Structure 1
Amino acid sequence: MSQTIPATEAVAPTALPLGSERAAYKRAAGVADRIVAQLSDVPRMVAVVGDLAGFRVRINFGTNEPSGVLQFAAIADTEVVRAPSQHGVWVEARATIEGTAVCAEVLMSDEAAAVFEAEPPMLRPVPLGASVLARVQAVTTSLAPSAVAEQQAPVTAELAGSGQ
């Protein structure tokens, strides 16, 4: 004797209207692009991930090289944390940027994580062309040191005469 199982209707989860969802995705993708543009290390993977809470960004730097995570942490002004796993140690930095949750991560072997934790982290320098310093004009004086001393002498004498 066969039994008929009544068909059930699939119930879709409550979602944002398509236009809102697309806009939220584009906002998260824009955050990811702006972060990656500021990094000197190229991530191995950047993903915009959608879930019930909205969209978030994951930036993965592969294995055993934490400098990309350190760069992200400096940009986002957040701390780097470690999370042991069965495959090694995840080194992560998490922040919310422009309303989007972002996680930068690297998987390190136990040995590489021990070396990383024993040595102070060193950030790779940002290429000068991408640095704020590349746009700042140098401050120089065309006066020789003796000429500077001569210019300061009247000010020093004036202060001495005023009782200060």
Structure 2
Amino acid sequence: MLDIATPAPDFTLPQGDGTDVTLSDLRGAPVVLFFYPRDDTPGCTKESIAFSEHLDSFAATGAKVFGVSKDSVASHAKFATKRDLTVPLLSDENGSVCEDYGVWKEKNMYGKKYMGIERTTYLIDANGDVAMVWPKVKVPGHAEAVLAAVQAL
């Protein structure tokens, strides 16, 4: 997990439409990165829909919002089309960004341990520094809480 007030690690990742997003190119505006485990699963779908529903409100503040998972660009495109998502989804297939942001963790389900993405959201300020972190996110009300934090910057 990254500490507040530290520089957010730079990256370049492809999004569902095939274009690349480079974090450092977005300086001058806040950026929200919500890391989620997997496309088209119940919690991830609800979270992505919530951020999509509030995308215009985030845009009104100048903030950019991106979902990040290890799913492929093709998976993201299919997920976005199926669920009518408007929030851009970034593909971190090799997991390097997930590791840099400390969200690739050991998880436990039904007594079985495995590695996966811990649902986490980062708010990065206009200077490229971590402004807020939400670890172990619970989906209901989360997008609204992040929007409120962006509006308070």
Please tell me the TM-score bracket, short chain as reference. under 0.3
TM-score, normalising length: structure 1: 0.25
TM-score, normalising length: structure 2: 0.26
Structure number with higher relative contact order (C-alpha < 8 Å, ≥ 6 residues apart): 2
Bigger share in helix: 1
Name which one, 1 or 2, has greater alpha-carbon Rg: 1
